[in-house]
Structure 1
Amino acid sequence: MSQPPTLIEEEEAGPPPLRARRALLKRLADVVSLPASRINAFERSVVGDLLVDMLRLASPEERRRVAGRLAALAELPDALARLLLRDEIEIAQVLIEQCAALSDADLVACAREAGAEHRRVMAARRGLSEIVCETLVGFGEPEVIETLLRNSTARLSQAGIETVVALSRTHPGLCGGLLKRPELRPSGAYVMFWWCGADDRRTILQRFGVSRDVMQEVAEDVFPMAASEGWADPVARKALQFIERRQRNRAAIEKSPFDSLEQAVATAARDGLSREIASEIAYLSGIKPLTGAKILGDAGGEPLAILCKATGLSKTDVHNLWRSMRRPEVQPDGSVHPDWERVQITYDLLAVDRAQTVLRYWNWSLSSALTPALLQAIRAGDDEQVDEYSAPERAAMLALAEDFGR
């Protein structure tokens, strides 16, 4: 906020008497604070305008005192709110934290027109609405978003959550806070899994490993209907593929050079995991090669355990598949390598049905929704081409963006 110019006349005459100004500021602040029974809205507005004009030339300490006096008001003149909310953070903070009279419009305007520190303080304010949270998230400031995620009284919309999930790809420190939010849904957690740390991955599997029992029960009689139609409807076919109990692709076995998925894994352990064998393992597992490549190329290894559990492979097969990728099993001191230990723990952690849900969601989002147009958009980094209503398309854009060099 600009300070009053120093006048030559004041310099010659010495410092101006400020007692009257301070007293008047206090009196006007008191008038603005009067209850509705003593002052009507028009009178309050006029007094507020006069107070704004004086505060523009007041010292920071005087403005801070007035802000503290006004913070308890149930009604605050708009011009006064705008002035003080855009003031130095030490002054604006009093109102941002304490003033219940501030509307969503006041807070959104402050977030847009003030600085990052104002937004950080606002992110901790109690009872933030969805629209204010979306505004704060839109600036993409990790420190502000971390504060917002810790604010248990803030209400985040799904659009806001999706924005934070996307930001967590480049700012993994946001993952932990996201996983504590009640608004986070499996679609966001499953795609976030690809860049989360080991502890966050375990949390995702424990919290979002969803059963498909209810879906299987209600869709039981739909499978024969779709079969009688020759699976001609691609929309129903994709949905039923997600719901069905069987994970392995029986039709792929008939065309495969291997007698079973286990034999393909054993061959990979013996000869190494070539591109051709990796594709066969994916087909036999009931997933697309793109999904298989994403799983087998993951540095942490947990997706490999999910693949094996979902397809009914044994621990021996898990070991063979790990060896086929030439991944380390022990450290130089002879202890179990942390990555291999994590794979075994993940395998034991998940039930088959829940592992299948995660695997199928990945396959659904990484391949079933991957149209040529979406693939082009991913390569170009054009987020606007993604269908805002399609969770699989958004997941594919996020999960594959790094693979395409974004």
Structure 2
Amino acid sequence: MMIRQFLLWTQHESAGRRAEAASSLARAYLYARLDPEARWEAKTAITALLDDPSPLVRRALAEACANAPEAPRPVVVALAQDVPEIAALVLARSPVLSDADLVDCAAIGEETGRAAIAARPSLSPMVCGALAEIAGPASLGRLAANPGAAITPGSLLRMVERHGDDGALREALLARPDLPLEVRQAVAASLARSLSDFVIACGWLPPERGERVAREARDRTTLGLAEGAAREDLRRLVTYLRRNGQLTAGLILRAMLSRRMAFTEAALADLSGLPVERVSGLLHESHGQGFAALYRRAGLPGPLEPAFAAAMSAWREEASGFTEESGPALSRRMIERAVTACERLPFAESHALVALLNRFDAEAAREEARLLARTIASEAAVAAVLDSIPAALIESYGQDRLRIAA
């Protein structure tokens, strides 16, 4: 009798009253202990209410069914394809919807629905992959910020590829604690590209110089991110760089001149197809013949080989007193040896390389100056503090220390 009364209410001319009746009927179906006949009648009536012309009624159904695992599947699927404001209610929460339903709704729905899907408490790699391919930057930002989203590295890279110029998305990606190294590098490269485009558009730099500045900034950031990374992370990073045309001879030379041997070994192993252990052994050979064979196998430009060989020779000489934890600065001594090796080459072959090495040297000199300036400033600050302490207090402190020692 109660169900029939609800059915009469759903025929009321007022959309508000029909919405109240729809909500009550749906909750009765979901939570009341109905006999089989009444339950069937309620389900049939709820399904019929999907045709109600008022969005108030359908919204009431969506609100009632959004969190319910027992909600009728045909009703939830239909609501998920309703107008965006109604569809978002079930897309964001309903446990009835399968991965196939979510992918379909993301593909044919509005951006509001995609944003709702992106914020679901739990998302499979398949749904995340679909969103990575079609969602806009705002929805992808919500996806990246969702700790329950199982996003594969490939999907993360696709997000950066499509909308890496969006600052909010970059911030959301970098905030993920499990972000793979290659994705961090992709985000950094995207930022460098955006900054380059901006300064070129403003006319502050000509296009050629802006692109070079962005490329060298990207290379510096790449080596900074790679510092201290595990071998497997480095392997994935250099594979990603090679596939995207970023594993250049200039980057490898910078790594070598910065004494980032772990990255250098991973890069040469990827290019040559040799195991990292074998590459490491060839790099450490004192006579250098192994390095020459490795260089040619890696397919690096022939005119650059003397610079690489000279840098490696200098590295072997100073390797005993240096560890990668000593810092990422370029070695001016290694750069000088590389420049000297290039002086014997024809100008047509060496001028671009020498110009690159000179920029490296200028960068290294500026870094040395910064470190020295910080050291001097720190020492001056300590001296100023000591000068401000009364001499009697210092003398008293020293006498107290002597009494304690005695």
Bigger Rg over Cα: 2
Greater helix share, structure number = 2
TM-score by length of 2: 0.49
